[in-house]
Structure 1
Amino acid sequence: MKIKYLAILIMVLAFSAASCDVSKKPAEVTPEPDTEVVEANEQVWLVDFDMAAAEAQKKDLPILINFSGSDWCSWCIKLMDEVFSQKEFLDYAKENLVLLNLDFPRRTKLPQEQAEKNQELMQMFGIQGFPTVIVLSSQGEILGRTGYQYGGPQKYVEHIQEFLNK
């Protein structure tokens, strides 16, 4: 009788172990059919706070800061794929925001100065989790704090506009 239970236990453990494949990629997100995906890059997203602040003051635009773990945080990846890389969002941002991406990757190594500056900013803004998105006025006043929101680029733009219209 013990052998029978032992055999069943071994089979259950074997199936459990086989189903725990940690190398699986996160599920791919398919953009909405009427939106065009645009690659997010340094030309769209700044990575230096001082440059973003100068740009915001020069153009009198708010700064959208994305605190992200781009290579390990699944919600950060979803936010980038579903919202921040979409043409609809980028078209809005081009005229209305200065975009700043402060990344905290685990697999990719940032230049030391950039990593230290990002860490300072994370502490300064009291970031507790990822993704955290902060909207600042061109004078540096916090207008809003958010994260991932369901609904795609149009809903996210409306959500950001709520902070700007306060």
Structure 2
Amino acid sequence: MKKVSIIAFVVLSTVIWAQNTEIKGTPEAKNSGDKALLVKSDAAELEAKKKAAAEEKAKLPKPYDPKADAQADINKLVAQAKKEGKNIMIQAGGNWCIWCLRFNQYVQTTPELKNIVDKNYLYYHLNYSPENKNEKIFAEYGNPGDKFGYPVFIVLDKNGKMIHVQQSDVLEQGKGYSLEKVKEFFNQWAPKKIIN
């Protein structure tokens, strides 16, 4: 009986040892080490992307003014729009928002888009930031940033009536914006010219 117990113990120990040795060589065991490397790699990649975005953001113009009296500015634009027969394009966002800054830069440096905007719109950058959330104005337009994120575009007719709200992600392409989609958006909401 003792002999059988000793043999059983030795066999069982050998089986357990063999399984443990095998487990260390299995893809699952290797993957757990790989997963740790992937997590470290992902963290490093994320950090590199954050750094690149911060560098890009630092180079881009900052069109949003947290100190501006947005309501007074928009009132002046409405008066000017009536005289010029243009609509008002409000780009809501902030200098903290890389996509807001990218859109502004894209429009300003793409002659075809800048021409459409200058011809048809008075353009305004409505600030949303911790310093000034412009809550009253955003509430007046239905708080579109809460629904769509930033930037978000609010189009007013020449009388200051809101005629459209546009989320920006549908205009994106890769790390920027689609020329055709942005052009179509600007052209669609430009004031309609009356032809006699």
Specify the TM-score bucket, using the shorter chain as the normaliser.
Answer: 0.5 to 0.7
In structure 2, distance between residues paired with 1:103 and 1:13 = 42
Structure 1 position 69, deviation (Å): 3.7
Deviation digits for residues 50-78 of structure 1 (CA, Å, limit 9, x no counterpart): 3322322332321001112442353x344
The 1:141/1:12 distance shift into structure 2, 3 A limit, reads: same
The 1:71/1:41 distance shift into structure 2, 3 A limit, reads: closer
Q: How many correspondences in the alignment? A: 145
Indicate which of 133, 142, 146 corresponds to 2:153: 133
What residue is the counterpart of 1:68 in the other structure?
93
The answer to whether residue 140 in structure 2 is matched with residue 119 in structure 1 is no
Query: Using CA pairs below 8 Å that are at least 6 residues apart, which structure has the higher relative contact order?
Result: 1
The answer to whether residue 51 in structure 2 is matched with residue 24 in structure 1 is yes
Structure 1 position 104, deviation (Å): 2.3
In structure 1, distance between residues paired with 2:109 and 2:135 = 24
Match of 1:71, SS?
A: coil
TM-score for both structures, normalised by structure 1: 0.64
Structure 1 position 82, deviation (Å): 3.2
Identity of aligned residues (%): 18
Deviation digits for residues 99-119 of structure 1 (CA, Å, limit 9, x no counterpart): 01113246xxx5xxxx25x32
In structure 2, distance between residues paired with 1:89 and 1:14 = 45
Deviation digits for residues 96-147 of structure 1 (CA, Å, limit 9, x no counterpart): 21001113246xxx5xxxx25x322222112122221121111112222213
Say if 2:116 and 2:186, in contact at 8 Å, map to a contact too: no
In structure 2, distance between residues paired with 1:134 and 1:85 = 21
Structure with bigger gyration radius = 2
6-15 or 154-163: which moved more?
6-15
In structure 1, distance between residues paired with 2:94 and 2:121 = 21
The answer to whether residue 119 in structure 2 is matched with residue 95 in structure 1 is yes
What residue is the counterpart of 2:17 in the other structure?
none
